Structure 1
């Protein structure tokens, strides 16, 4: 009996763990496209709005802005991005690192800031090759000179090195769950400053920045997932820019195919109804012509009969009126015949008057 209870308890425990594993949802960076979860244009945008690198790190991890959507350690929380800097003469190398575990960091992107001999400042945001492919670079052109430039070449400048690490974050920061990629992209497109330009290039300006980066590189995620590089995820393209172009061409092809199908259906719907109602139109025209001809033919006898009746009505009253006219004439004759009676009465009256006089 005890053994049965133990087996039942073990089975229930196994089923419970399986159900909990199914209910939990993770964003797996290996299976999904990692580069979709951090837009380097957004990184360039907030870099130009920052006062210094400390402010830049705060904006990069602001829960309200949500510039990043990276979850490299698959704990269903967006990773904290820390900033470290290396300086040599006129070159500043700024490294953006994802904190994925205790003392384990992964370089996500670098920002090369360099002043040339003419004191012109050049800025390039370079995507990590493991995440974005080869030579994925943006050169921002700001509509106004960023304030952060003034801090780089000030006297007694000290390179910035973030003090935050795993489970030790600033008070303003709290981890949030990663969003679906389409929602993250919409958020970035809304928050980008439209006055700035973000030009894609495939050549890195500063050779010195490459050397500085090799001395401070962190690749904890690469070591954990050696088969998750961009070249393995996307074997037909070199970097994220080519991937975006292919996606756009696919969307345009799909849109054009859908548009062609709609036009075909629309043309078929316009041609097929016009062919089908033709017999109906012929029948309706025939019925209309018959209705126009048959009533005229049927109405002909009616018109003849009505004309005959009308002629008879005109002739018969005249014939019936003849006796009435004769009667009226007879009445006239009787009135004329009454004339001699009046004369006789007059004569009688005159003879009576004469007899009275003689007497």
Structure 2
């Protein structure tokens, strides 16, 4: 009887542990749908409207709580423009000083009525080189070998021309003024009410429709947009971690605590390092 009870307790503990582990995404950024962000960007008539849509709960795009206060983070949208190149930066404040970028939408004009774009997840939150772009497949049919009654259908991914998206036309309008979000830590629009983050598997299912029309690609296509953005990237010195196998770093004015976890999320080592008082912070903070 004791053996049976012990076995049941072990099985129960294993089940609970597996369930808790399954509630966490492999990468922190998985709690923000890059595909969903592009879907909202496509239908937005301005960057102000785009920011509003990102921060509405029923759009199923944002499930981030980077500062672990059990409230969803407000997503801020800013535009960096150089000539015909735009880098639309999505970011959030971790506190009143620290700001963390989540992703950028790079847009490059390729002709009089053509433009291309990608969204790239920030390397602090996503697997390095995470690129998402509109998905469009062209089918072609040819006469089959061995007779006219058999045909071969081939498919090919094509680069989508986004010039006619309302949001893109807005950016390239002669009257466009570069957009910077007016909101910051502690100052948010009156209509916004943060909600509690969903369990990851719930959020994953809720944002699944976005993945139909947008897909991952292996390489950066909007190279110039990334170059103009890179020197202005915001990176937080607070709690940021890529996945359950990655080191988690917490910093304050006096010390830095480095917690190393294994694949199952179990703590392997804790080290406390004294911070260098002469160190100058060059990232984060307000624009």
For the aligned pair, the TM-score class normalised by the smaller chain equals 0.5 to 0.7
> Which of 185, 206, 219 is residue 235 of structure 2 equivalent to?
219
Task: Work out whether residues 63 and 173 of structure 1, in 8 Å CA contact, stay in contact via their aligned partners in 2.
Answer: no
SS of equivalent to 1:129: coil
Normalized against structure 2, the TM-score is what? Answer: 0.64
Write 1 or 2 for the structure with the bigger share of strand: 2
Q: Which residue of 1 aligns with 2:199?
A: 180
Question: In structure 2, what is the Cα distance between the partners aligned to 1:30 and 1:164?
Answer: 29
Is structure 2 residue 38 aligned with structure 1 residue 52? no
Larger radius of gyration: 1
5+ residue gaps, structure 1, are 1-26, 235-359
| Aligned match of 1:101 | 95
Pick 1 or 2: higher relative contact order, CA cutoff 8 A, min separation 6.
2
- Within 5 A, what are the aligned runs for 1:1-359? 33-117=27-111, 119-141=113-135, 145-190=164-209, 192=210, 197-220=213-236, 223-225=237-239, 228-230=241-243, 232-233=245-246
Q: CA deviation at 1:83?
A: 0.5
Task: Choose between structure 1 and 2: higher helix proportion.
Answer: 1
- The size of the alignment, in residue pairs, is 201
Counterpart CA distance in 2 for 1:75 and 1:140 is 34
RMSD of aligned alpha carbons: 2.7
Aligned mates of 1:63, 1:117 — CA distance in 2: 37
Q: State whether residues 27 and 127 of structure 2, in contact with CA within 8 Å, keep that contact through their aligned partners in structure 1.
A: no
In 2, the alpha carbon distance for the partners of 1:193 and 1:211 equals 27
Distance 1:159 1:230, change over 3 A: farther
Specify every segment of 5 or more residues in structure 2 that has no aligned partner in the other structure, as ranges: 1-20, 137-159, 248-287
* Runs of 4+, deviation exceeding 4 Å: 29-32, 141-144
